[in-house]
């Protein structure tokens, strides 16, 4: 086996392993599917790059982006990656255990596997149930189910939350 071929195999394995733990899903979910038009592995830097039409599915979570960088951080132990999805926009979606759908979009979505934090920035939007939040930067702590939004310090545009009331027919249909 040539050294280039070995490097390619290691890089591909790293790419899949890097995204394998992109979420602490229930143990029954093990398969991660990554589709992209192109993949590169920067072995010395511990970075795998997926380019063009990137689509990741892992259990009930999904990311769609133009580009995804998976940074392996050996100092934090196994499966502690930083995933950086960029796009116009990059999109994150998750179906929670109770069936609630959360969607987020922004120019950049950073997912820190170690802390279970999403950092959504650049015309950031997050929506769930009957509300939508728009801000320059939004943080979502997946473990705590905590969303925090801030305006850009150099901008006069403030955080905007839109609440959409449900009508009586919708409420009746949703109740068992």
pLDDT per residue, tens digit, the chain (176 aa), is: 444 434 434 444 444 444 444 444 444 445 667 899 999 998 888 889 999 999 988 778 899 999 999 888 666 555 567 889 999 999 999 888 888 899 999 999 998 877 888 899 988 999 988 889 899 899 999 888 888 888 777 777 788 888 888 765 555 555 55
pLDDT for position 70: 86
pLDDT for position 99: 87
Q: How many CA atoms lie within 13 A of 131 on its CB side?
A: 7
> What's the rounded Cα separation, in Å, for the pair 133 and 151?
11
> What's the rounded Cα separation, in Å, for the pair 73 and 64?
23
**Structural domains of the chain ordered from first start:** 3-174 (2.60.450.10)
> 63 near 19, Cβ under 8 Å?
no
> What's the rounded Cα separation, in Å, for the pair 98 and 28?
17
| DSSP letter assigned to residue 89 | E
pLDDT for position 55: 94
For residue 102, the Cα-to-chain-centroid distance in whole angstroms is 11
pLDDT for position 17: 47
pLDDT for position 83: 86
pLDDT for position 60: 82
pLDDT for position 173: 53
- For residue 134, the cross-strand partners are 125, 160
- For residue 35, the cross-strand partners are 55
Nearest of 107, 106, 109 to residue 83 by alpha carbon? 109
pLDDT for position 154: 75
Determine if the pTM surpasses 0.75: no
Place of tokens 């839109």: 162
């Amino acid at each position: 086996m040539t050294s280039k071929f070995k490097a390619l195999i290691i890089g591909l394995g790293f790419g899949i392993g890097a995204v394998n733990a992109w979420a602490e899903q229930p143990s029954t979910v093990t398969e991660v599917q990554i589709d992209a038009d192109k993949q590169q592995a920067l072995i010395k830097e511990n970075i795998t790059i997926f380019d063009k039409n990137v689509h990741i599915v892992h259990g009930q979570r999904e990311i769609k982006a133009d580009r995804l960088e998976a940074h392996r951080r050996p100092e934090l132990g196994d499966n502690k990656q930083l995933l950086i999805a960029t796009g116009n926009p990059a999109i994150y979606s998750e179906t929670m255990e109770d069936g609630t759908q959360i969607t987020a979009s922004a120019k950049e979505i950073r997912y820190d596997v170690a802390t279970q934090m999403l950092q959504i920035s650049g015309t950031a939007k997050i929506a769930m149930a009957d509300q939508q939040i728009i801000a320059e930067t939004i943080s979502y702590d997946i473990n705590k189910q905590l969303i925090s939004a801030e305006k850009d310090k150099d901008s006069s545009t403030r955080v905007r939350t839109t609440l959409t009331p449900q009508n009586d027919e919708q409420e009746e249909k949703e109740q068992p």
